[in-house]
A and B are shown apart, each in its own frame.
Chain A
Amino acid sequence: MARQYEEVTVRGYDEFMKAVSQRKGKDVFAYFSGSKNEQGASWCPDCVKAEPIVRGELSYLPPGSVFIYCQVGERPYWKDPNNEFKKTLKLSGVPTLLRYGTPQKLVEEECFKKDLVRMMFTED
């Protein structure tokens, strides 16, 4: 079955903003997670818990939309209150799932609730 959405994987703020700017006019959903190491494990336990839940709802994404999976960086970078994600994108925690350009976002434990994730993907 063909995927109706485009999935993009990026690392860091600059790559994220580049991916967004290349997709102007599209419905962009972004999932921010603490970066994974070579073994594929993230330093952020909540991100580990939320990822399969979010991925489980991806089939509900609207056709033509974009799903950006963004690894924010290492733990010390994330803890710095002046990092670009916190300062410019106003992220308060990871994991965060948001719909770019709208106030729709789910933060931390909200990402564990698959019905909230589904609501964001299917909401008008």
Chain B
Amino acid sequence: MAALCKWRHRLKPAGFFQNAVRRQLSDNYDYDLLVIGGGSGGLACSKEAAQFGKKVAVLDYVESSPKGTKWGLGGTCVNVGCIPKKLMHQAALLGGAVKDAQKYGWRIPSPITHDWLTMAPAVQDYIRSLNWGHRVQLQDKKVKYLNLKGSLMDGHTVKAVSKTGKESVLTAGNIVIATGGRPKYPTHIPGSLEYGISSDDIFWLKESPGKTLVVGASYIALECAGFLTGIGLDASVMVRSIPLRGFDQQIACLVTDYMGSYGTKFHWKCSPSKVEKLETGRLLVSWTDLDSGKEDQDTFDTVLWAVGRAPETRALNLEKVGVKMNRETGKVCVSADEATSVPHIYAIGDIADGRPELTPTAIQAGKLLARRLFGKSSELMDYDCVPTTVFTPLEYGSVGLSEEEAVRRHGEDGIEVFHAFYKPLEFTVAERDASHCYIKMVCLREGARRILGFHFTGPNAGEVTQGFALAIKCGATYTQLMATVGIHPTSAEEIIKLHITKRSGLDPTVTGC
């Protein structure tokens, strides 16, 4: 049967390939594994497969953004996502810390100003060192790296095109699609493509973005607006409906309230109608207030679209090969073992339907897939209870269910919600407003009260949340939480000390020591 499949594509017209068609014996592919996409998932999968002595290649190719931004190996996370985001968030936090430092006795000349031209190149240099690090790693682990744009020709064949248009054909026993996503542009808004930028561009700007309008309410929008405000720029966010869709909404509002009190301007329930360029070079944005119907306008230096991300499937030729996609999301349909509808073709990371758009899940899924394909493992990726953190100025860490989702699954009577407003000790001397620092633990109401969801807003939320992800994975209960001793003085200990329930109606504000 396999031999029949091989003969079938040898009958294709010879003019189809630029190179001579190779005479392939059955099961004699160029590679055991071909990965399309050199991001978090693709790199992890390829390196793991190579450990088993398999012949592996990674095709990575970055199509420039509409503004012309391009980058090296490593995918979204390394180049235009997690890494530069966290570094710029850190730059913003340091600005706040310097202000706090004065209250702690440091003599700092006022006012403190921030220089984009110092920060951006430093961040970009670090990213370039990661690009290089990945190159060295792939080479070291004997994974072939090809800077070519791949598309499927059939279940075992990939067409690869170089930036100069030169085509080649590669065959593989297994193919992994890990091409991720790219920011969407609201092309129905006049001027959006010509004058706006996206998260693909913001970290690579050669000059400060200046007064910026961020359109969107996802974590990308809020994190960007957050660090722009933090480094002293005039930043506004335009939200069509709700912030952080999919996240616990009570917490989402705490996050945006904090941002508002720290200087980010919000235009709620507004939608941009057009973007025009003025003679001065600045951008004039017109928008509609969706409630009142009123029109309004303002000028900005930069307009950043953060209105969603689209899966990179267009150029892959998936329909022709029969790889099923979810019509609504445009992502590739996968089963629990990351398999697509075509045998020997898999999909991991942001491109896969129903998966979290996170680096650690893509990496883990990639590794486990490689182990199942070549290492005789049968372990599937567990996508349950994946912790995340939103790195807005007030960070938000969570793992498990939002309160809304817990109510949906167990009913309001089936859950017990413990909560507390706390004040980080460091905020006291610094005279910082802690009214948005909050912890919420959603538990089952019966028995030992298993923890269903954990939510924490405050400094270092990511560091605080990581350990609790393990606890929840182990099925931790409120009873066990009560038996755990806190570390003092920390913000995290307030989680251990949770005892006020929403049901009681009592004031959840933590009082002194």
User: A interface vs B, CB < 8 Å?
Assistant: 102-106, 110, 113, 115-116, 119, 123-124
Contact = CB atoms under 8 A, between A and B. Distances in A.
Contacts of A113: 140
Nearest to B138: A119
Q: Which of A104, A106, A124 has the most CB of B within 10 A?
A: A104
A106 B136 contact: yes
A113 B138 CA distance: 13
Nearest to B72: A124
Contacts of B135: 119, 123
A72 B147 CA distance: 36
A104 B132 contact: yes
Q: Is the interface of B mostly helix, strand, loop or mixed?
A: helix
A84 to B, nearest CB: 20
Nearest to B142: A115
* Interface pairs A-B: 10 shortest CB-CB: A103-B129, A103-B128, A103-B132, A104-B132, A119-B139, A116-B139, A115-B139, A116-B136, A103-B125, A119-B135
Contacts, number: 22
Contacts of B129: 103
A82 to B, nearest CB: 23
A122 B108 CA distance: 48
Given A102-B128, A103-B128, A124-B147, 8 more contacts: A102-B132, A103-B125, A103-B129, A103-B131, A105-B132, A110-B136, A115-B139, A119-B136
Interface residues of B, number: 11
Residue in A102, A103, A105, A124 whose Cβ sees the most chain B Cβ within 10 Å: A103
A103 B126 CA distance: 8
A87 B423 CA distance: 41
Interface in B449-505: none
Contacts of B140: 113, 116
A102 B135 CA distance: 14
A95 to B, nearest CB: 15
Contacts of A106: 136
A99 B128 CA distance: 13
Interface string B126-162: 1011011001100110000001000000000000000
Contacts of A123: 135
* Most central of B125, B132, B140 by chain A CB within 10 Å: B132
Contacts of A104: 132
A124 B145 CA distance: 13
A93 to B, nearest CB: 15
Contacts of A102: 128, 132
B131 to A, nearest CB: 8
Nearest to A102: B128
Contacts of A110: 136
Nearest to A110: B136
Contacts of A115: 139
A119 B136 CA distance: 8
22 contacts: A102-B128, A102-B132, A103-B125, A103-B126, A103-B128, A103-B129, A103-B131, A103-B132, A104-B132, A105-B132, A106-B136, A110-B136, A113-B140, A115-B139, A116-B136, A116-B139, A116-B140, A119-B135, A119-B136, A119-B139, A123-B135, A124-B147
Interface string B165-179: 000000000000000
Contacts of B136: 106, 110, 116, 119
A10 B125 CA distance: 27
Nearest to B133: A103
Contacts of A105: 132
